[in-house]
Structure 1
Amino acid sequence: MNVPFLSFEAQHAPLSAALTQAFTRVLNSQWYVLGEEVKQFERAYSAFNEVAHTVGVANGLDALVLALRALGIGPGDEVIVPSNTYIATWLAVTQVGATIVPVEPDPATSNLDPARIAAAISPRTRAIMPVHLYGQACRMPEIMALAAQHQLFVVEDNAQAQGAAFDGRRTGSYGHINGTSFYPGKNLGALGDAGAVTTDDEALAQKVRVLRNYGSQQKYYNETIGYNSRLDELQAALLQVKLPVLPEWTRQRQQVATWYEQHLAGIAGLRLPQVAAGATHVYHLYVVHTPDRAGLQQHLGRQGIGTLIHYPIPPHLQQAYQSLSFSEGDFPIAEDLAATCLSLPMWPGMSESHVAAVATAIRSYH
């Protein structure tokens, strides 16, 4: 059985008529930027994410940049980020001119370790940026307590974890201001680039509304140096169709993860995802770890099973960050995770037979 790494068919086919209707509604409205569709989606996502305010922006990176800008973070400030994350988390800090302070994760969950965060706080630290990596909630109560103790801001990167929670509270609702992405492959994906900022703070939300629109509240009157970073009407309309189905898609992802856990149990040299006590995992990705990643990936490819690596090179070793003078060995946990991680197929609509086929191929290699 061929098993693709990702398939949208089971998600999009049942929604085809509704998605087409949403497209037609926007087309006929003759209003394509910052209109009623964006306002309606912002209200709906706020209700889903249990926050007071959602501000739609162009993409997930912009969401993080605008969140940092709204907090006034810039040159001279330090921001604590994970040493293992997609590079967008680091890029956001760089784009506002602040200093990146990488912190190693808990090897079991791949998420930021609060104890290591505490050790990295300095007099110049202004914010902590936890990333709910692969869809598992970080230990947010501990992170928020640290932030309160040291009078720091928290900006959650919730791009991979829409609908996850820690101690029953949604990710993307803990931080002072937070960013998420609706890139097509995310658990809630648009049909192009899209993102949002979430917060309970009206003043911060209003700053982001101004920043996303050229620094302007009134057309042609610009009060600050802003951006052109607006969630467009079409993507907002399409996301409104998908949002009510997200809880069911999450349930399906969690079921697939349960099947993986059952079918992959007991394979020597293969470490399965571990979920921290109090956390939920929405399985944006199902990531296993093995010291023979290259061999296993090639074997699975020959069996018609798609896999990807999230992410093969940690940010501190990327060419883009050569100027920071990090070297191999500086962040050994991040480097080990990058060298051993392999993302298996994971999408709503996967059946147990798909999972069994993947597991059979893995067992045949081991």
Structure 2
Amino acid sequence: MSFEKRLAASIVQYLGDQLRSDDLTGEDKEGLEVAIQCLETVYRISSSDVHLLPSRSLVDIFKDAIKNEPIGKDTDEPVSEEDRREAEYLKTRGNDLMKVEQYKDALDSYTKAIKLDPKNAVFYCNRAAAYSKLNQHTFAIEDCRRAIEIDPNYSKAYGRMGLAYANLNNHHLARENYKKALELDPNNDSYASNLKVAEDNIAELERTNPFSTILQNPAIAQVAEGILQDPNMQNMVRDMMSNVFGSLAGGGRPGAPPGAPSGAPSGVPSGAPSGIPNLQSNFPPAGDAGSGAPPTGPGGLPTDPLSGFNLDTMMNIGQQLARQFENMNPELYDQIRRNVGGNGANPPNDNNNSNNNP
């Protein structure tokens, strides 16, 4: 019995308790139900697995863990001179630890400095460098953004965020951040060099795989975000996902013939708390998902998760996405269509990830 499964069971129990709270809206409770369903599916657990639960609740364990843990200062609270001096000392100690490649200890020092002085952009930016050295580039990006919120003209934060994006192979966003860093610090040779590397990587991606560079384009991401905020599109995606999760819960699939398990809400076991289906108990034996259903493996999950999708539904969603994309940004839509059409005959190249990351 793994630690992860026991922890997941404790989280499910806590979320189930929250569902009974009168402080949550119906939408909030729906979100918790989805979270519980996902956890139960991923970790192969159910509400009946009480043997996985520790003797104390997750809330009690957490309270004990943080009782001696000081809460960081509120960003609106003035920082005393004593705290400011201590924070500077911790930052300097973190810098020294970075020089001897003690990155985890350096990260701890920067974190303590931030707790004492949460308005200092340098502390976040330095911690971002430690995160990058530990290959935790997503956290590095988050800290760079915090630094920029405090000081929008902090060139080093843009430069380090560019490095983090480059290490995640998102060369478009790396280029945007290097450009901003160079705009704020025009004489910085490192920013200029890194910008050139990012542009070379983008050019190589466009040459070998035009579709991959389209997906990285920040303008595409902005349009996609706008599409996903559209209520009609949200309802369509929600319906599709409900169908998918429902079919997995019941062992069937979208578009399965009559008689195949549907996983509909009516199949929720009467003993399941908070109205959550016991997904594990509903899974059929391997290979027995119903007449016409795709081949299944252990737990009754399809061996090919895409085999059961209804093609008409997917085509309909794709067409609506394309129409919304064209309406929101027709120039960008035409540009993408021309690029894809003009490069479609190029053979795929698996070696399109440059190793020249700065």
TM-score, with length taken from structure 2: 0.25
Q: Which has the higher strand share?
A: 1
Which of these two proteins has the greater Rg computed from alpha carbons? 2
Q: Which has the higher helix share?
A: 2
TM-score, with length taken from structure 1: 0.25
